[in-house]
């Protein structure tokens, strides 16, 4: 998606009333930065304060004409419930990912909810691609072993298959999983996927083969988790699946920590030092002080950095700006969230 210039956001008709909404002012500042707030100020009459839970009772009388809210991380169900009562509110544009934790009060009032989850999928997919390629080269096990002086000179030849004609399994083919599948296309790999919601036709379009969950773990050299955190998936990935992984295989989790039975994964990693786990997400986050992830050498922990960070966060605002322009012009929205979608989205 192309970034949006201020000129592109300028509406051809009268300016709507708009407010920025969220309980983390610093997140609003950084997401709607680098000209994005100015683009919205050119496209709408912007309420001068950030709308937040602690100030809402005083702000509410001044918000009666607000038609559109722009938000990001820091939006919660309590604030959503408060703003859903605004008499003229028609739409909320959320410049972040999941809306599971706040969308329902708005949807109950037939307020349009748009999420920039597709923008957040871009850096996650890129991060995952990097980890998959390094895993296929045996990088993570190699650097563990290369630290030991006794292994110097004996680690050039590894058991890693390399980035060609090897199997990679994707668990879940939502926006991130689909993006990863597309990024893997140039590398001559066999990509398979487990996703109960993915049809064979859709899988063929993505260039992936559909497999069962046990087949995904048993067949792939790299298993990458992108399953949504929903009641049916919590703790779904357990001991039997991890124990069935091939020698020297890697498990990547940039999805949700709650989909993994972490004690069972830790037990398998202790028993099988040939395996590697790359955990960008855990449950809880951050891990408890006594978590095995701090001690296991074959578990590599990162602090949920796969999603939008640094300059990447303004891409979230760009997606919302483009959707806002479409909404104003009565064009179809690409990233509108419905109640039905919440049943299977992260």
CA distance 212 to 215: 5
97 and 39 both lie in a single domain:
yes
Percent with pLDDT over 70 in the chain? 94
Q: What is the DSSP string of 242-311?
A: HHTSPTT-EEEE-S-GGGB-HHHHHHHHHH-TT-EEEES--SSSSPPTT-GGGT-TTEEE--S-SS--GG
Position 1 in a domain: no
User: How many Å is the Cα radius of gyration of the chain?
Assistant: 22
250 and 316 housed in the same domain? no
- pLDDT at res. 14: 80
- Say whether both 331 and 294 belong to one domain: no
Return the pLDDT at 13. 55
Whole-number mean pLDDT of the chain?
93
Over residues 312-330, mean pLDDT: 98
Q: What is the pLDDT of residue 342?
A: 86
Cβ-proximal residues to 37 (8 Å cutoff; 6+ apart), any chain: 20
The pLDDT of residue 344: 76
Judge whether 87 and 60 are in contact, CB under 8 Å.
no
Poorest-confidence range of 123-127, 149-153, 255-259, 295-299? 149-153
Counted domains in the chain: 2
pTM for the model = 0.89
State the pLDDT confidence band at 156, using cuts at 50, 70 and 90: low
* Dist. CA 344–CA 184, nearest whole Å: 24
pLDDT in tens, 70-120: 999 999 999 999 999 999 999 999 999 999 999 999 999 999 999 999 999
Q: Is 90 exceeded by the pLDDT of residue 155?
A: no
Check residue 157 and give its pLDDT. 62
Structure tokens given for 325: 């322009």
Show the domain range for 297.
120-301
pLDDT at 73: 97
pLDDT at 265 over 70: yes
Render the burial of 309-338: b for 16+ CB within 10 Å, e for the rest: eeeebbbbbbbbbbbbbbbbeeeebebebe
pLDDT the model gives residue 2: 39
Read off the CATH number of the domain in which 148 is found.
3.40.50.720
Q: Are residues 133 and 101 in the same domain?
A: no
Asked if residue 138 and residue 94 are part of one domain, the reply reads: no
**Mean pLDDT, to the nearest integer, of 191-198?**
96
What's the average model confidence in pLDDT over 41-61?
A: 97
The helix/strand count (H/E) of the chain reads as 15, 13
DSSP 333: P
User: Which tokens belong to 269?
Assistant: 């990693």
pLDDT of residue 151: 73
- Is residue 119 within 8 A of residue 315, CB to CB? The reply is yes
Looking at the fold, whether 290 and 192 belong to one and the same domain comes out as: yes
Do both 74 and 176 map to the same domain?
no
- Structure tokens belonging to residue 16: 């709507």
Average pLDDT over residues 282-295: 96
Q: What is the pLDDT of residue 159?
A: 81
**Average pLDDT of 156-179?**
92
């Amino acid at each position: 998606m192309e970034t949006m210039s201020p000129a592109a956001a300028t509406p051809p008709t009268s300016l709507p009333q708009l407010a920025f909404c969220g309980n983390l002012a610093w997140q609003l500042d950084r997401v709607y930065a680098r000209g994005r707030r100015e683009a919205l100020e050119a496209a709408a009459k912007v309420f001068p304060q950030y709308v937040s839970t602690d100030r809402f009772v005083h702000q509410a009388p001044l918000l009666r004409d607000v038609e559109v809210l722009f938000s990001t991380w820091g939006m919660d169900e309590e604030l959503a419930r408060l703003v859903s009562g605004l008499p003229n509110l028609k739409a909320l544009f959320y410049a972040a990912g999941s809306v599971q934790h706040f969308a329902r009060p708005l949807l109950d009032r037939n307020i349009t909810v748009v999420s920039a989850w597709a923008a957040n999928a871009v850096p996650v997919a890129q991060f995952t691609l990097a980890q998959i390629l390094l895993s296929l080269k045996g990088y993570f096990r190699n650097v563990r072993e290369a630290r030991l002086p006794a292994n110097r000179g004996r680690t050039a030849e590894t058991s890693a298959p390399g980035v060609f004609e090897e199997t990679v399994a994707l668990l879940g083919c939502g926006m991130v999983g689909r993006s990863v599948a597309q990024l893997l296309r140039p590398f001559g790999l066999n990509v398979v996927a487990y996703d109960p919601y993915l049809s064979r036709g859709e899988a063929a379009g993505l260039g992936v083969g559909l497999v069962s969950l046990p087949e995904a773990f048993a067949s792939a050299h790299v298993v990458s988790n992108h399953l949504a955190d929903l009641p049916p998936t919590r703790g779904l990935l357990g001991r039997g699946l991890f124990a069935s992984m091939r020698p020297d295989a890697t498990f990547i989790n940039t999805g949700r920590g709650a989909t993994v039975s972490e004690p069972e994964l830790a037990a398998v990693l202790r028993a099988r030092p040939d395996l590697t786990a790359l955990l960008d997400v855990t449950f809880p986050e951050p891990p408890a002080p006594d978590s095995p992830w701090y001690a296991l050498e074959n578990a590599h922990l990162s602090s949920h950095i796969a999603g939008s960070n640094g300059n990447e966060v303004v891409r979230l605002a760009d997606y919302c700006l483009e959707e806002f322009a479409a909404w104003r012009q009565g064009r179809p929205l690409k990233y509108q969230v419905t109640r039905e979608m919440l049943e299977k989205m992260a």
